[in-house]
Chain A
Amino acid sequence: MREHPGIRAVLPQRYPMLLVDRILELDPRRSIRTVKAVTATEPCYAGLPEDAEPWRYHYPPALLIESFGQSAALLWLDGHAPAADDGLTLMFVGATEFVFEGGVLPGDVLIHTVRLDNVIAGTAFASGETWAGTRRVARVTTLVATRRPVPHLTGPADASAVAAGPGPAQRSREGSR
């Protein structure tokens, strides 16, 4: 088991977008089980009016995907932070068949089970499920993540790069399909 400092050491995300609380099990290059506890103090609930309908307390699917993706990244990076100076940015490329099977509410403790299916040319392919207790709330056939150089995120905009148009990484898919 690995606690939060071990996660912060590997993932670049920070509050409020660091969405993995704990690593339960890590079988290097094969699988990982992580925990994300959803609470009513999450920023996504901050703006809800007093008379908000119950469904508005459902945890946003986009954040669940992000949490799953961060778990996949922890598995892919094998719990070790990449060299800070390698100039590569970890990014979510997309997912195929990300299926939501049940709602998630404040108080639910999500368990992500992620399998690393393949790593080709610096791009990782993962699959798995998310559970809330004995309920499976989501599953995904393929989630794709990559590490690519993204100059505009690490320094001032380069006029020549902008003129040349978006590179492959910037044009990559976002969200699920």
Chain B
Amino acid sequence: MTTQETQLEALRELVAEVLEIDPEELTDTGDFIDDYEADSLRAIEILARIDKQYKVEIPQAELPLLRNLKAVHEALLQYSGQG
């Protein structure tokens, strides 16, 4: 796996834990709210965990866009300077 793929899988675990589902259930494009019954607080919690674990601050203005794993991963890459 490439570094980015490894990071995506680590992120899948982080997000799945917040959404209280199994990582295998979380697809790259599944919508947090429509497909996994998340509420707006969950996206905030994902940002907080990314900040704590990766020391990467994703601005809260990005919150409305963070609707699936792929979007969260892209934001992480962008704000950690890898994107």
A residues sitting closer than 8 Å to B (CB atoms) are 93, 117-118, 120-121, 123, 125, 142, 144, 146, 168-169, 171-172, 177
A27 to B40, CA, bound (A): 30
B2-46 with Cβ < 8 A to chain A: 20, 39-41, 44-45
B interface: dominant SS:
helix
Count A-B pairs with CB separation below 8 Å. 35
B41 touches A118 (CB 8 A): no
B residues neighboring A (CB under 8 Å): 20, 39-41, 44-45, 47-49, 51-52, 60, 63
Q: Bound state CA distance, A146 and B41, in angstroms? A: 9
**Whole-angstrom distance between the alpha carbons of A115 and B69 in the complex?**
29
The answer to whether B48 touches A172, judged by C-beta atoms less than 8 angstroms apart, is no
22 contacts between A and B (CB under 8 A): A93-B41, A117-B48, A118-B48, A118-B51, A118-B52, A120-B44, A120-B47, A120-B51, A120-B60, A121-B44, A121-B60, A123-B41, A123-B45, A123-B48, A125-B52, A142-B49, A144-B41, A144-B45, A144-B48, A168-B41, A171-B39, A172-B39
CB of B20 within 8 A of CB of A177, answer: yes
Chain A residues with Cβ under 8 A from B48's Cβ? Answer: 117-118, 120, 123, 125, 142, 144
